[in-house]
Amino acid sequence: MNPEFIPINIAVLTISDSRQFDNDTSGKVLEDKANADGHQVIDRQIVADDIYQIRAIVSAWIADPAVNAIVTTGGTGLTGRDGTPEAVKVLFDKEIEGFGELFRSLSYQVIKTSTVQSRAVAGVANGTFIFSLPGSSGACRTGWDEILHEQLDNRHKPCNFVELMPRLKET
């Protein structure tokens, strides 16, 4: 017998110097996919590609017990303004190395060797999952459809992130 679906609360952060809500296609993709899967997007923001502004918002969400997971989009490239990994990795209690590895493997099937420019990362901080995806809507679709859709569903077996949530603060 399959267990009953457990929806989680997700915060979505778009990191961009040029996006506003009316043209934030990547943030909208993530919000729509999370809601379609039965989760609750409890906050969605846009922030400039500045490591301290990114870190401030992500830190506030990590401290908020209502937020189970954070998904960011943007700032994972190689330009001088791309600072999402530097902003979030210092906040991790544990890094989920397999997330970036799997994302790049899946992305290779679509964009071939251009995926080496992606610095997608994930980790856990204060019991909150953090997933940082590239800024394109295609990358957000790949990340959600091919990884997060199943890993944020407690019914996915043999294991998933949701079943770990009650245990993340164990000492």
Give domain status of residue 4, yes or no. Answer: no
Q: What share of the chain is helix, strand, coil (3-state, %, to 5)?
A: 45, 20, 35
Owning domain of residue 134: 9-166
State how many domains the chain has: 1
Give domain status of residue 155, yes or no. Answer: yes
Q: Both tokens of residue 114?
A: 């251009």
pLDDT at 102 over 70: yes
CB within 8 Å of 27: residues ≥ 6 apart: 12, 13, 14, 19, 21, 44, 46, 73
Which CATH number covers residue 123?
3.40.980.10
Cα 81 to Cα 120: distance, rounded to the nearest angstrom:
15
pLDDT at 171 over 80: no
Give domain status of residue 162, yes or no. Answer: yes
- Closest CA relative to residue 162, chosen from 138, 132, 127, 114: 127
pLDDT tens by residue, 5-35: 999 999 999 999 999 999 999 999 999 999 9
Name the strand (E) or helix (H) holding 140: helix 137-143
Give domain status of residue 28, yes or no. Answer: yes
Give domain status of residue 1, yes or no. Answer: no
pLDDT tens by residue, 63-80: 999 999 999 999 999 988
**Contact yes or no for 50/15 (Cβ under 8 A):** no
pLDDT tens by residue, 107-123: 999 999 999 999 999 99
